[in-house]
A and B are shown apart, each in its own frame.
Chain A
Amino acid sequence: MLRYVYGHDLQHFPLLRDTMFRDRADQFLTRLGWAVRVNAAGEERDEYDDLNPLYLIWQNEDGRHGGSMRFLPTIGQTMVNDHFRHLTDGVRIESPLIWECTRFCLAPGAERRVSAGLVLGAGEIMANFHLKHFVGVFDPRMERIYRLMGLEPDVLGRSGEGRDRIGVGLWEMQEAAWPHTLARVGISRDTSLDWFRQSFSASDSKRLCEPALT
Protein backbone atom coordinates (compact mmCIF):
# COMPACT_ATOMS: atom_id res chain seq x y z
CA MET A 1 0.00 0.00 0.00
CA LEU A 2 0.94 3.63 -0.35
CA ARG A 3 1.81 5.79 2.61
CA TYR A 4 2.31 9.52 2.62
CA VAL A 5 4.66 10.43 5.47
CA TYR A 6 6.33 13.69 6.44
CA GLY A 7 9.99 13.46 7.43
CA HIS A 8 9.20 14.28 11.05
CA ASP A 9 6.78 11.35 11.22
CA LEU A 10 9.14 8.73 9.77
CA GLN A 11 10.08 7.86 13.36
CA HIS A 12 6.67 6.15 13.64
CA PHE A 13 7.66 3.79 10.80
CA PRO A 14 11.23 2.72 11.67
CA LEU A 15 11.41 -0.35 9.42
CA LEU A 16 9.90 1.49 6.47
CA ARG A 17 12.24 4.44 7.05
CA ASP A 18 15.43 2.40 7.39
CA THR A 19 14.72 0.18 4.41
CA MET A 20 13.87 3.26 2.31
CA PHE A 21 17.16 5.03 3.00
CA ARG A 22 19.09 1.78 2.44
CA ASP A 23 17.31 1.10 -0.84
CA ARG A 24 18.12 4.65 -1.90
CA ALA A 25 21.82 3.94 -1.31
CA ASP A 26 21.50 0.79 -3.40
CA GLN A 27 19.78 2.59 -6.25
CA PHE A 28 21.60 5.92 -6.38
CA LEU A 29 25.13 4.89 -5.39
CA THR A 30 25.42 1.21 -6.31
CA ARG A 31 23.21 0.98 -9.38
CA LEU A 32 23.24 4.49 -10.84
CA GLY A 33 26.66 5.55 -9.58
CA TRP A 34 25.53 9.05 -8.64
CA ALA A 35 27.74 11.18 -6.41
CA VAL A 36 25.58 10.73 -3.30
CA ARG A 37 26.63 10.37 0.32
CA VAL A 38 25.97 7.11 2.12
CA ASN A 39 26.39 6.98 5.90
CA ALA A 40 27.85 4.25 8.11
CA ALA A 41 24.42 2.61 8.38
CA GLY A 42 24.38 2.24 4.60
CA GLU A 43 21.71 4.94 4.15
CA GLU A 44 21.61 7.59 1.47
CA ARG A 45 20.40 10.93 2.81
CA ASP A 46 20.99 14.46 1.61
CA GLU A 47 20.29 17.97 2.90
CA TYR A 48 16.76 17.95 1.45
CA ASP A 49 15.83 15.06 3.73
CA ASP A 50 16.52 17.46 6.61
CA LEU A 51 13.82 19.86 5.37
CA ASN A 52 10.94 17.66 6.57
CA PRO A 53 9.78 16.73 3.06
CA LEU A 54 6.71 14.66 2.29
CA TYR A 55 7.60 11.09 1.30
CA LEU A 56 5.37 8.93 -0.83
CA ILE A 57 6.25 5.35 0.04
CA TRP A 58 5.07 2.01 -1.23
CA GLN A 59 4.99 -0.32 1.75
CA ASN A 60 5.28 -4.04 0.97
CA GLU A 61 3.17 -6.56 2.84
CA ASP A 62 6.14 -7.38 5.07
CA GLY A 63 6.27 -3.72 6.14
CA ARG A 64 9.38 -2.89 4.16
CA HIS A 65 10.05 -0.24 1.55
CA GLY A 66 9.06 -1.12 -2.02
CA GLY A 67 9.62 2.27 -3.62
CA SER A 68 9.42 5.94 -2.83
CA MET A 69 9.55 9.53 -3.95
CA ARG A 70 10.19 12.78 -2.09
CA PHE A 71 8.19 16.03 -2.36
CA LEU A 72 9.01 19.60 -1.39
CA PRO A 73 7.20 22.84 -2.14
CA THR A 74 9.08 25.01 -4.63
CA ILE A 75 8.49 27.93 -2.27
CA GLY A 76 11.58 27.17 -0.26
CA GLN A 77 14.72 25.24 -0.97
CA THR A 78 14.59 22.71 -3.78
CA MET A 79 17.17 20.61 -5.54
CA VAL A 80 16.20 21.88 -8.99
CA ASN A 81 16.48 25.56 -8.07
CA ASP A 82 19.66 25.04 -6.04
CA HIS A 83 21.56 22.79 -8.44
CA PHE A 84 19.93 22.53 -11.85
CA ARG A 85 19.08 26.10 -12.85
CA HIS A 86 21.31 25.67 -15.92
CA LEU A 87 18.84 23.03 -17.11
CA THR A 88 15.74 25.21 -16.70
CA ASP A 89 16.84 28.03 -19.00
CA GLY A 90 17.81 29.99 -15.89
CA VAL A 91 14.19 30.07 -14.71
CA ARG A 92 13.76 29.70 -10.97
CA ILE A 93 10.73 27.43 -10.80
CA GLU A 94 8.83 28.65 -7.78
CA SER A 95 5.10 28.69 -7.11
CA PRO A 96 2.71 27.41 -4.45
CA LEU A 97 1.08 25.42 -7.26
CA ILE A 98 4.27 23.56 -8.19
CA TRP A 99 6.01 20.97 -6.01
CA GLU A 100 9.31 19.30 -6.64
CA CYS A 101 9.62 15.51 -6.66
CA THR A 102 13.00 13.84 -6.40
CA ARG A 103 14.65 10.56 -5.36
CA PHE A 104 12.29 8.30 -7.27
CA CYS A 105 13.51 4.96 -5.95
CA LEU A 106 12.54 1.32 -6.39
CA ALA A 107 13.67 -1.39 -3.99
CA PRO A 108 15.74 -4.16 -5.60
CA GLY A 109 13.28 -6.68 -7.00
CA ALA A 110 10.28 -4.46 -6.39
CA GLU A 111 6.98 -5.77 -7.72
CA ARG A 112 6.04 -4.33 -11.09
CA ARG A 113 3.07 -2.47 -9.70
CA VAL A 114 5.21 -0.41 -7.33
CA SER A 115 6.36 2.04 -9.96
CA ALA A 116 2.75 2.52 -11.09
CA GLY A 117 1.81 3.00 -7.43
CA LEU A 118 4.25 5.87 -7.09
CA VAL A 119 2.87 7.59 -10.16
CA LEU A 120 -0.63 7.08 -8.76
CA GLY A 121 0.32 8.54 -5.37
CA ALA A 122 1.85 11.58 -7.02
CA GLY A 123 -1.38 11.96 -8.98
CA GLU A 124 -3.37 11.88 -5.73
CA ILE A 125 -1.13 14.56 -4.27
CA MET A 126 -1.65 16.74 -7.32
CA ALA A 127 -5.43 16.24 -7.35
CA ASN A 128 -6.10 16.53 -3.62
CA PHE A 129 -3.79 19.44 -2.90
CA HIS A 130 -4.81 21.38 -6.02
CA LEU A 131 -1.35 21.52 -7.56
CA LYS A 132 -0.73 22.29 -11.21
CA HIS A 133 2.70 20.86 -11.96
CA PHE A 134 5.55 18.76 -10.64
CA VAL A 135 9.14 19.54 -11.42
CA GLY A 136 11.51 16.69 -10.88
CA VAL A 137 14.90 15.15 -11.35
CA PHE A 138 14.68 12.18 -13.69
CA ASP A 139 17.02 9.32 -14.40
CA PRO A 140 16.59 7.41 -17.68
CA ARG A 141 14.77 4.51 -16.03
CA MET A 142 12.29 6.78 -14.32
CA GLU A 143 11.60 8.45 -17.63
CA ARG A 144 10.85 5.07 -19.21
CA ILE A 145 8.51 4.18 -16.36
CA TYR A 146 6.59 7.43 -16.74
CA ARG A 147 6.22 6.88 -20.45
CA LEU A 148 4.91 3.37 -19.80
CA MET A 149 2.22 4.93 -17.64
CA GLY A 150 1.18 7.16 -20.50
CA LEU A 151 2.66 10.26 -18.90
CA GLU A 152 5.00 12.20 -21.06
CA PRO A 153 7.45 14.02 -18.83
CA ASP A 154 8.79 17.12 -20.45
CA VAL A 155 12.52 16.92 -20.03
CA LEU A 156 13.92 20.45 -19.99
CA GLY A 157 17.54 19.50 -20.04
CA ARG A 158 20.00 16.79 -19.15
CA SER A 159 23.45 16.61 -17.70
CA GLY A 160 25.92 13.78 -17.47
CA GLU A 161 26.24 10.75 -19.66
CA GLY A 162 25.15 7.13 -19.74
CA ARG A 163 23.72 5.76 -16.52
CA ASP A 164 24.81 8.92 -14.74
CA ARG A 165 22.56 10.99 -16.98
CA ILE A 166 20.18 13.21 -15.03
CA GLY A 167 17.32 15.15 -16.52
CA VAL A 168 15.18 17.89 -15.07
CA GLY A 169 11.62 17.50 -16.18
CA LEU A 170 8.08 18.62 -15.69
CA TRP A 171 5.05 16.48 -15.47
CA GLU A 172 1.45 16.50 -14.43
CA MET A 173 -1.10 13.77 -13.88
CA GLN A 174 -3.28 14.02 -16.96
CA GLU A 175 -6.88 12.90 -16.62
CA ALA A 176 -6.32 10.24 -19.30
CA ALA A 177 -3.53 8.57 -17.32
CA TRP A 178 -5.66 7.65 -14.29
CA PRO A 179 -7.38 4.46 -15.57
CA HIS A 180 -4.17 3.02 -16.98
CA THR A 181 -2.21 3.77 -13.84
CA LEU A 182 -4.91 2.34 -11.53
CA ALA A 183 -5.09 -0.81 -13.66
CA ARG A 184 -1.34 -1.32 -13.39
CA VAL A 185 -1.50 -1.00 -9.60
CA GLY A 186 -4.55 -3.27 -9.61
CA ILE A 187 -6.74 -1.14 -7.36
CA SER A 188 -9.76 1.13 -7.71
CA ARG A 189 -9.73 4.87 -7.29
CA ASP A 190 -11.68 4.42 -4.06
CA THR A 191 -8.92 2.27 -2.60
CA SER A 192 -6.36 4.82 -3.68
CA LEU A 193 -8.33 7.60 -1.98
CA ASP A 194 -8.70 5.43 1.14
CA TRP A 195 -4.92 5.09 1.33
CA PHE A 196 -4.58 8.83 0.89
CA ARG A 197 -7.11 9.53 3.66
CA GLN A 198 -5.44 7.05 5.98
CA SER A 199 -2.28 9.12 5.79
CA PHE A 200 -3.81 12.57 5.90
CA SER A 201 -6.88 12.19 8.07
CA ALA A 202 -6.40 12.02 11.78
CA SER A 203 -9.15 9.46 12.34
CA ASP A 204 -6.85 6.60 11.40
CA SER A 205 -3.49 7.83 12.57
CA LYS A 206 -3.45 10.24 15.46
CA ARG A 207 -0.94 12.93 14.79
CA LEU A 208 1.88 13.42 17.23
CA CYS A 209 3.34 16.86 17.04
CA GLU A 210 3.91 19.99 19.04
CA PRO A 211 1.79 23.09 18.86
CA ALA A 212 3.36 25.74 16.70
CA LEU A 213 2.28 29.02 18.11
CA THR A 214 3.75 28.83 21.59
Chain B
Amino acid sequence: MTLQDIIERLQRAKALEDLQTITEELREHYATTHIVYHWVNSIGERFGAGTYSTDWVDRYLEKDYLRMDPVIFGCFQRFHPVDWKQLDWSTKAARSFLKDAISFGVGNQGYTIPIRGPNGQFALFTVSHTTTDEAWEGFIQANAHDFMIIAHEFNKKALEFETGTEVVSVPALSPRELTAMSYLAKGFSRAQAADELKISEHTLRVYIEAARHKLGALNTTHAVARALSCGLIVV
Protein backbone atom coordinates (compact mmCIF):
# COMPACT_ATOMS: atom_id res chain seq x y z
CA MET B 1 0.00 0.00 0.00
CA THR B 2 1.43 3.40 -0.93
CA LEU B 3 1.52 6.31 1.50
CA GLN B 4 -0.99 8.06 -0.72
CA ASP B 5 -3.43 5.13 -0.32
CA ILE B 6 -2.98 5.24 3.44
CA ILE B 7 -3.66 8.99 3.58
CA GLU B 8 -6.80 8.54 1.51
CA ARG B 9 -8.01 5.77 3.81
CA LEU B 10 -7.33 8.06 6.76
CA GLN B 11 -9.51 10.72 5.16
CA ARG B 12 -12.33 8.21 4.73
CA ALA B 13 -12.10 7.03 8.36
CA LYS B 14 -15.43 6.99 10.17
CA ALA B 15 -14.47 5.82 13.63
CA LEU B 16 -11.64 5.44 16.10
CA GLU B 17 -11.05 1.83 15.01
CA ASP B 18 -10.25 3.06 11.51
CA LEU B 19 -7.55 5.33 12.93
CA GLN B 20 -6.12 2.30 14.72
CA THR B 21 -5.86 0.42 11.43
CA ILE B 22 -4.17 3.39 9.78
CA THR B 23 -1.46 3.52 12.47
CA GLU B 24 -0.77 -0.17 11.78
CA GLU B 25 -0.53 0.47 8.04
CA LEU B 26 1.80 3.40 8.60
CA ARG B 27 4.01 1.30 10.82
CA GLU B 28 4.29 -1.28 8.08
CA HIS B 29 4.90 1.36 5.42
CA TYR B 30 7.78 2.96 7.32
CA ALA B 31 9.03 -0.32 8.81
CA THR B 32 9.25 1.50 12.12
CA THR B 33 8.69 0.22 15.64
CA HIS B 34 5.56 2.24 16.49
CA ILE B 35 3.14 4.90 15.28
CA VAL B 36 0.83 6.58 17.77
CA TYR B 37 -1.64 9.42 17.52
CA HIS B 38 -3.41 10.62 20.64
CA TRP B 39 -5.36 13.71 21.48
CA VAL B 40 -7.31 15.59 24.10
CA ASN B 41 -10.48 17.25 22.88
CA SER B 42 -11.73 20.68 23.87
CA ILE B 43 -13.54 19.31 26.93
CA GLY B 44 -10.54 17.35 28.15
CA GLU B 45 -11.50 13.84 27.00
CA ARG B 46 -8.58 11.65 25.90
CA PHE B 47 -8.46 9.41 22.85
CA GLY B 48 -5.75 7.42 21.20
CA ALA B 49 -4.88 5.14 18.34
CA GLY B 50 -1.58 3.41 17.96
CA THR B 51 0.52 0.32 17.70
CA TYR B 52 1.88 0.13 21.27
CA SER B 53 1.22 -3.29 22.81
CA THR B 54 -1.71 -3.57 25.23
CA ASP B 55 0.84 -4.71 27.81
CA TRP B 56 2.61 -1.36 27.53
CA VAL B 57 -0.63 0.62 27.61
CA ASP B 58 -1.71 -1.29 30.75
CA ARG B 59 1.69 -0.81 32.32
CA TYR B 60 1.61 2.93 31.54
CA LEU B 61 -1.77 3.29 33.23
CA GLU B 62 -0.85 1.08 36.18
CA LYS B 63 2.34 3.07 36.84
CA ASP B 64 0.54 6.36 36.19
CA TYR B 65 3.36 7.40 33.85
CA LEU B 66 1.20 10.19 32.49
CA ARG B 67 2.21 12.21 35.53
CA MET B 68 5.88 12.21 34.58
CA ASP B 69 6.23 11.15 30.92
CA PRO B 70 8.94 13.52 29.57
CA VAL B 71 7.40 13.35 26.08
CA ILE B 72 4.11 14.74 27.38
CA PHE B 73 5.90 17.38 29.47
CA GLY B 74 8.19 18.36 26.62
CA CYS B 75 5.42 18.73 24.04
CA PHE B 76 2.67 20.36 26.04
CA GLN B 77 2.19 24.02 25.04
CA ARG B 78 4.67 23.59 22.18
CA PHE B 79 4.19 23.47 18.43
CA HIS B 80 7.58 22.41 17.16
CA PRO B 81 8.47 18.76 16.45
CA VAL B 82 10.45 17.18 19.25
CA ASP B 83 13.11 14.49 19.04
CA TRP B 84 12.99 12.51 22.26
CA LYS B 85 16.72 13.06 22.72
CA GLN B 86 16.03 16.75 23.41
CA LEU B 87 13.82 15.93 26.37
CA ASP B 88 14.74 15.95 30.02
CA TRP B 89 15.66 12.39 30.97
CA SER B 90 17.90 13.50 33.83
CA THR B 91 15.69 12.50 36.75
CA LYS B 92 15.80 9.01 38.21
CA ALA B 93 12.07 8.59 37.51
CA ALA B 94 12.51 9.55 33.85
CA ARG B 95 15.41 7.15 33.40
CA SER B 96 13.55 4.23 34.88
CA PHE B 97 10.50 5.10 32.78
CA LEU B 98 12.66 5.04 29.64
CA LYS B 99 14.18 1.70 30.64
CA ASP B 100 10.72 0.29 31.24
CA ALA B 101 9.41 1.66 27.92
CA ILE B 102 12.31 0.09 26.03
CA SER B 103 11.73 -3.26 27.75
CA PHE B 104 8.10 -3.10 26.60
CA GLY B 105 9.23 -2.57 23.02
CA VAL B 106 8.53 1.16 22.62
CA GLY B 107 11.92 1.67 20.98
CA ASN B 108 14.91 3.77 21.93
CA GLN B 109 14.23 6.63 19.49
CA GLY B 110 11.20 8.83 19.08
CA TYR B 111 9.90 11.88 17.27
CA THR B 112 6.74 13.60 18.42
CA ILE B 113 4.81 16.31 16.62
CA PRO B 114 2.56 18.36 18.90
CA ILE B 115 -0.53 19.96 17.39
CA ARG B 116 -2.53 22.77 18.89
CA GLY B 117 -6.08 22.69 17.64
CA PRO B 118 -8.89 25.17 18.24
CA ASN B 119 -10.47 25.65 21.70
CA GLY B 120 -7.76 23.91 23.65
CA GLN B 121 -7.75 20.75 21.53
CA PHE B 122 -4.30 19.19 21.68
CA ALA B 123 -2.70 16.20 19.97
CA LEU B 124 0.56 14.31 19.64
CA PHE B 125 1.68 12.23 16.68
CA THR B 126 4.60 9.98 17.48
CA VAL B 127 6.92 7.76 15.51
CA SER B 128 9.23 5.55 17.57
CA HIS B 129 11.93 3.20 16.47
CA THR B 130 14.74 0.92 17.59
CA THR B 131 17.90 2.05 15.90
CA THR B 132 21.17 3.98 16.19
CA ASP B 133 21.28 7.77 16.56
CA GLU B 134 22.81 8.12 13.12
CA ALA B 135 20.24 6.01 11.31
CA TRP B 136 17.45 7.77 13.18
CA GLU B 137 18.67 11.21 12.17
CA GLY B 138 18.71 10.19 8.52
CA PHE B 139 15.26 8.67 8.82
CA ILE B 140 13.82 11.86 10.34
CA GLN B 141 15.54 14.12 7.82
CA ALA B 142 14.04 12.06 5.02
CA ASN B 143 10.51 11.80 6.42
CA ALA B 144 9.83 14.80 8.68
CA HIS B 145 7.73 16.63 6.09
CA ASP B 146 5.52 13.61 5.53
CA PHE B 147 5.14 13.08 9.28
CA MET B 148 3.99 16.66 9.76
CA ILE B 149 1.47 16.27 6.97
CA ILE B 150 0.22 12.92 8.31
CA ALA B 151 -0.02 14.32 11.87
CA HIS B 152 -2.28 17.10 10.66
CA GLU B 153 -4.42 14.74 8.60
CA PHE B 154 -5.00 12.70 11.78
CA ASN B 155 -5.89 15.87 13.57
CA LYS B 156 -8.37 16.97 10.92
CA LYS B 157 -10.11 13.63 11.56
CA ALA B 158 -10.05 14.06 15.33
CA LEU B 159 -11.65 17.49 15.02
CA GLU B 160 -14.23 16.07 12.64
CA PHE B 161 -15.08 13.29 15.14
CA GLU B 162 -15.38 15.88 17.90
CA THR B 163 -17.81 18.16 16.13
CA GLY B 164 -19.67 15.22 14.66
CA THR B 165 -19.74 16.96 11.33
CA GLU B 166 -18.01 15.53 8.35
CA VAL B 167 -15.48 17.86 6.84
CA VAL B 168 -16.80 19.12 3.55
CA SER B 169 -15.53 16.60 1.04
CA VAL B 170 -14.67 19.28 -1.50
CA PRO B 171 -12.33 21.80 0.10
CA ALA B 172 -12.76 25.47 -0.69
CA LEU B 173 -9.85 26.86 -2.67
CA SER B 174 -9.54 30.50 -3.58
CA PRO B 175 -9.68 31.47 -7.27
CA ARG B 176 -5.89 32.04 -7.33
CA GLU B 177 -5.19 28.60 -5.87
CA LEU B 178 -7.54 27.02 -8.40
CA THR B 179 -5.87 28.81 -11.28
CA ALA B 180 -2.43 27.76 -10.03
CA MET B 181 -3.53 24.13 -9.73
CA SER B 182 -5.11 24.08 -13.16
CA TYR B 183 -1.91 25.38 -14.79
CA LEU B 184 0.00 22.57 -13.11
CA ALA B 185 -2.63 20.08 -14.24
CA LYS B 186 -2.11 21.30 -17.80
CA GLY B 187 1.56 20.45 -17.45
CA PHE B 188 2.95 23.97 -17.03
CA SER B 189 6.24 24.23 -15.19
CA ARG B 190 6.22 26.29 -12.00
CA ALA B 191 8.01 29.10 -13.81
CA GLN B 192 5.41 29.13 -16.60
CA ALA B 193 2.50 29.00 -14.15
CA ALA B 194 4.00 31.84 -12.07
CA ASP B 195 4.49 33.84 -15.23
CA GLU B 196 0.87 33.37 -16.30
CA LEU B 197 -0.36 34.39 -12.85
CA LYS B 198 2.05 37.35 -12.75
CA ILE B 199 3.44 36.26 -9.40
CA SER B 200 6.90 35.11 -8.37
CA GLU B 201 7.76 31.45 -8.34
CA HIS B 202 8.11 31.58 -4.56
CA THR B 203 4.60 32.97 -4.19
CA LEU B 204 3.34 30.26 -6.50
CA ARG B 205 5.00 27.60 -4.36
CA VAL B 206 3.31 29.00 -1.24
CA TYR B 207 -0.10 29.07 -2.95
CA ILE B 208 0.42 25.46 -4.04
CA GLU B 209 1.48 24.49 -0.53
CA ALA B 210 -1.67 26.13 0.90
CA ALA B 211 -3.79 24.26 -1.66
CA ARG B 212 -1.99 20.99 -0.92
CA HIS B 213 -2.85 21.33 2.75
CA LYS B 214 -6.50 22.12 2.07
CA LEU B 215 -6.76 19.16 -0.29
CA GLY B 216 -5.15 16.89 2.30
CA ALA B 217 -2.59 15.77 -0.25
CA LEU B 218 0.88 14.42 0.33
CA ASN B 219 2.65 16.39 -2.40
CA THR B 220 1.94 18.59 -5.41
CA THR B 221 1.25 15.73 -7.83
CA HIS B 222 -1.20 14.21 -5.38
CA ALA B 223 -2.81 17.64 -4.84
CA VAL B 224 -3.34 18.14 -8.57
CA ALA B 225 -4.86 14.66 -8.85
CA ARG B 226 -7.22 15.38 -5.96
CA ALA B 227 -8.27 18.76 -7.35
CA LEU B 228 -9.09 17.00 -10.62
CA SER B 229 -10.96 14.10 -9.02
CA CYS B 230 -13.00 16.46 -6.79
CA GLY B 231 -13.99 18.37 -9.92
CA LEU B 232 -12.41 21.56 -8.56
CA ILE B 233 -10.48 22.04 -11.76
CA VAL B 234 -10.83 20.76 -15.30
CA VAL B 235 -8.27 20.46 -18.02
Contacts and interface: CB of A to CB of B under 8 A. Distances in A.
Interface residues of B, number: 51
B77 A209 contact: yes
Given A54-B80, A73-B79, A92-B210, A130 B148 contact: yes
Contacts of A213: 38, 40, 46, 66, 72
Contacts of B174: 89-92
B176 A52 contact: no
Interface string A48-60: 0000101000000
B76 A212 contact: yes
Residue among B77, B81, B118 facing the most chain A CB atoms (10 A cut-off): B77
Nearest to A85: B174
B175 interface: yes
Residue among B67, B88, B206, B212 facing the most chain A CB atoms (10 A cut-off): B206
A45 interface: no
A202 B213 contact: no
A75 B78 contact: no
B144 interface: yes
B188 to A, nearest CB: 18
Nearest to A214: B66
A202 B74 contact: yes
Contacts of A156: 199, 203
A15 to B, nearest CB: 22
A89 B208 CA distance: 13
Contacts of B117: 76
A12 interface: no
B216 to A, nearest CB: 11
Interface of B: 38, 40, 46, 66-70, 72-81, 85-90, 115-118, 122, 144-145, 148-149, 151-152, 174-177, 199-200, 202-203, 205-207, 209-210, 212-214
